[in-house]
């Protein structure tokens, strides 16, 4: 099932609203299971800044320097985040999704790229904030299996293409196999996407939402046998988990 731009737009509005609501449920200095943003306030600061950066690109179609995004205020952080969210949604809704726009991959993309990018950035951090004080991270129920599959596609299309040359080879091919939709992703030892699984591969089978958490560095298949079935040597799983396909996200 293909996830349309309209569907992504609806989901972005929904998960970003959920994030805003979750912020209000915690103390802003409550811990978050993230090395990059260890508290809710740091996470809100990060995501709000990403929203302003993405809004500027969506509005202009041109690249923008994230370092030029205004810093979050010391007070009224929640109000500031809601303003950032509104700025992003207005920019994306007013822009033609097919208009040429700079993207992280190249300058020949369209504005629709940013709706997809912000949907999965927000979903990951919604998962993070809901895990405050918890031992494990759980998928966000707002997304269905097809959309989580789209999130895996996005990671491999956008970020793997940027990080591939910096990654150490996998010890063997790795297959990610969804058990709830007809999707499978196979990575070669040199991080190329393959059409089929070679012999001597390691296969990880799970629901799409859990596979997404794994590739987003928010689940460890070896520690969750009730959610993941690993067939073959675990070294490929460990090697993927140790590789910064999309670091600090």
Residue 31 counted as domain residue: yes
Mean pLDDT, residues 184-211 taken together: 97
User: Is this prediction's pTM over 0.95?
Assistant: yes
Last residue of a domain, one of 75, 102, 130: 130
Mean pLDDT, residues 138-158 taken together: 97
Residue 161 counted as domain residue: no
What is the model's pLDDT at position 105?
Answer: 86
- The CATH number of whichever domain residue 93 belongs to comes to 1.20.120.450
User: What's the chain's average pLDDT?
Assistant: 95
Mean pLDDT, residues 199-217 taken together: 97
| Lowest mean pLDDT across 31-35, 111-115, 126-130 | 31-35
Indicate whether 12 and 94 sit together in one domain.
yes
What is the band of 161 on the pLDDT scale with cuts at 50, 70, 90? confident
Residue 63 counted as domain residue: yes
Mean pLDDT, residues 154-168 taken together: 93
Mean pLDDT, residues 156-181 taken together: 95
Residue 153 counted as domain residue: no
Please check the confidence at residue 248 and state whether its pLDDT lies above 80.
no
What is the model's pLDDT at position 249?
Answer: 59
What is the model's pLDDT at position 236?
Answer: 98
Rounded Cα gap, residues 218 and 215, in angstroms:
7
Residue 159 counted as domain residue: no
- The CATH number of whichever domain residue 216 belongs to comes to 3.30.1050.10
Number of domains in the chain: 2
Indicate whether 211 and 100 sit together in one domain.
no
Indicate whether 103 and 215 sit together in one domain.
no
Mean pLDDT, residues 227-239 taken together: 97
Measured in residues, the chain has a length of 249
Task: Residue 233: give the domain boundaries.
Answer: 167-241
Rounded Cα gap, residues 193 and 18, in angstroms:
33
Indicate whether 123 and 194 sit together in one domain.
no
């Amino acid at each position: 099932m293909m996830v349309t731009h309209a569907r992504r737009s609806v989901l972005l509005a929904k998960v970003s609203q959920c994030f805003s609501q979750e912020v209000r449920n915690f103390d802003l200095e409550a811990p978050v299971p993230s090395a990059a943003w260890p508290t809710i306030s740091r996470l809100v600061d990060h995501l709000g800044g990403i929203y302003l950066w993405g809004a500027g690109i969506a509005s202009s179609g041109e690249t923008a320097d994230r370092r030029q995004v205004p810093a979050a205020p010391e007070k009224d952080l929640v109000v500031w985040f809601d303003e950032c969210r509104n700025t992003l949604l207005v920019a994306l809704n007013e822009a033609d999704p097919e208009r040429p726009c700079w993207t992280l991959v190249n300058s020949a993309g369209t504005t629709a790229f940013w709706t997809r990018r912000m949907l999965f950035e927000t979903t990951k951090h919604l998962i993070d904030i809901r895990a405050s004080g918890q031992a494990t991270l759980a998928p966000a129920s707002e997304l269905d299996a097809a959309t989580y599959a789209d999130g895996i596609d996005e990671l491999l299309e956008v970020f793997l293409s940027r990080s591939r040359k910096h990654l150490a080879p996998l010890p063997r091919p790795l297959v990610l196999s969804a058990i709830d939709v007809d999707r499978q992703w196979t990575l070669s030892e040199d991080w190329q996407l393959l059409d089929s699984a070679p012999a001597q591969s390691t296969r990880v089978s799970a629901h799409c939402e859990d596979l997404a958490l794994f590739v987003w560095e928010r689940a460890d298949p070896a520690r969750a046998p009730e959610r993941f079935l690993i067939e073959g040597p675990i070294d490929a799983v460990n090697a993927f988990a140790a590789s910064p396909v999309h670091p600090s996200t």
